[in-house]
């Protein structure tokens, strides 16, 4: 296996370990919670491999880890809490980009799909966004 040497993914494993240890949660406990092997989790945390879209979706579903922070290092380490079944509003920052009604609608659909979609739809969405992101 080759270590990841560039891009925002370079520190993904380090961030995952940092979050896990802040709980504190043992690696075998997290691996069991998200249904992956302890070896796979170790490879991710040691930056030897990247998590699959399915693993990212499981982290989102079963933990309070903020996936945006995990992927980019930006924002809070933990998810913002919403009332059960409540979707976040498109925030003012996104609305600033939303002068185009089509863009606003796409953002709303993205949020709706992420919060209401089943795990497969979420995993596809995450995988697409990661692959389509041109970076900064």
Query: What confidence tens digit (pLDDT) does each residue in 94-108 have?
Result: 444 445 667 667 777
Same domain, 91 and 71: no
Task: Kindly report the pTM of this predicted structure.
Answer: 0.56
Q: What is the pLDDT of residue 8?
A: 64
Q: What is the pLDDT of residue 135?
A: 66
Q: Which of 59, 34, 50, 42 is closest to 2 using CA atoms? A: 50
Residue numbers of the domain that contains 30? 1-79
Same domain, 99 and 50: no
27, 41 contact by CB (below 8 A)? yes
Same domain, 87 and 74: no
Which residues of the chain register pLDDT less than 70?
1-8, 80-101, 103-104, 135-136
Q: What is the pLDDT of residue 95?
A: 47
Q: What is the pLDDT of residue 114?
A: 77
Same domain, 74 and 86: no
Same domain, 3 and 46: yes
Same domain, 42 and 93: no
Give the count of domains, the chain: 2
Same domain, 57 and 113: no
Percentage with pLDDT > 70 across the chain: 74
Angle between helices 38-45 and 12-22 (to 10 degrees): 120
Same domain, 114 and 132: yes
Same domain, 74 and 92: no
């Amino acid at each position: 296996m080759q270590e990841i040497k560039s891009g925002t993914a370079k520190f993904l494993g380090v961030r995952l370990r940092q979050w896990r240890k802040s709980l504190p949660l043992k690696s075998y406990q997290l691996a069991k919670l998200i249904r992956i092997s302890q070896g796979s989790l170790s490879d991710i945390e040691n930056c030897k491999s990247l998590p699959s879209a399915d693993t990212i979706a499981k982290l989102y579903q079963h933990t309070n880890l903020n996936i945006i922070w995990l992927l980019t290092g930006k924002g809070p380490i933990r998810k913002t809490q919403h009332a059960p079944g409540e979707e976040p509003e498109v925030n003012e920052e996104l609305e600033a980009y939303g002068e185009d009604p089509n863009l606003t609608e796409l953002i709303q659909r993205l949020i709706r799909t992420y919060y209401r979609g089943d795990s497969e739809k979420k995993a596809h969405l995450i995988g697409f966004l990661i692959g389509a992101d041109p970076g900064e």
